[in-house]
Structure 1
C-alpha cells in the first residue's frame, strides 16, 4: 500500500482519503475490531495490505491476531493469502477470512451478520476440504474443527449471547 499523503488525513467532510497513487484508502484509526475511530484518536495499528507470506506464516500471524481479540485484522491476513496465493487455495483462504469477519461481527454485537458469515465460512472450508485440491489439515489447520467452532458460535450468537469476547472465543486453527 502506498503511504498516505498529508492532505488525506482528516480532510473536510465528504473528502476521500487517498494514497499516493490516488486510490481510496481510509486513513481513520481503527479499534481492535476494525471499527473506525475519530481522526486523531489512538487506534490499533493496521495490518499492512498486500503482504505475501508463506502459508505457515499466514496461519501463525492470523492465530496471533485472533488470540489478541483482533479478528478484523486476522481477516486482512487471510485476505492477503487469498489474493496472493495459488488459485487452488483461494477458496480455503477466503473461507478462513469469512470466519474471521464472522467473529468480528459477533464481537461487535451483530448476531445476524456474524452467524451468516460464520456459517458461510464453515461451508467454504468444508467444501474446500472435500474438493479436488482439498485436504483435511492444510498447513496444520483442522478444518473440521474450525467449521464446528464456527457453527457453534453462530448458534450462540443467534441464541442471544450478545457481543462475544473475540479473544476468548477465537478458534484454534491448529487444534
Structure 2
C-alpha cells in the first residue's frame, strides 16, 4: 500500500479510498453518566433520522467526492457512483479505488469492471477482511462525526443539507492529514 501512496503523491496514479457511513440527527454518545443508583435515560423524543453517505477520498489531494442518501446505501447505488468516478477519472494514469469487503462492494459485473479497466484505467482493490484501519476514509468519517460537526442536534428536516454542507467543507474548511 505504501508504494501506491508514494505513486499517488508523485502524481503517477490516482489513489482513492471508498466507503460509506451514516450520520444521525443526534450526535453519537460515547459516554454517559447518571447519579449513583439511578439509571441513565436518553431523550428519545429528539428522533433518530439518519442519512447515509457514499464517498471516495483522493489520497494525494484530500478531495472528497460523495453522495448523500436518505435511505440505505446498496449495491445498486455503489455501481453508478463508481461508474461516474471512472468516467471522470484521468485516463493518463491508473486510478486505484481501495474498498473494504462489504457485500455491497462485490458482485459488480465482470464486464463492467473490464470496461472500467480498458476505457478508463480504473481498478478496484479490495482490502483484507476485518482491516478498516487500512481504509483511510474511515479516519475522515470519524473526524466528521466526532470533531467537525457541531455538537447540537440537527433538525430532521435539515439533516441531509447539514451533512452535505459539512462534507463540502472537506479540503477547504476541514483538513485531514495522514502521517
Structure 2 length-normalised TM? 0.26
Q: Which has the higher helix share?
A: 1
Q: Which has the higher strand share?
A: 2
Structure 1 length-normalised TM? 0.26
Structure 1 or 2, whichever has the larger Rg, is 2
Identify the structure with bigger relative contact order (alpha carbons < 8 Å, sequence gap 6+).
Answer: 2
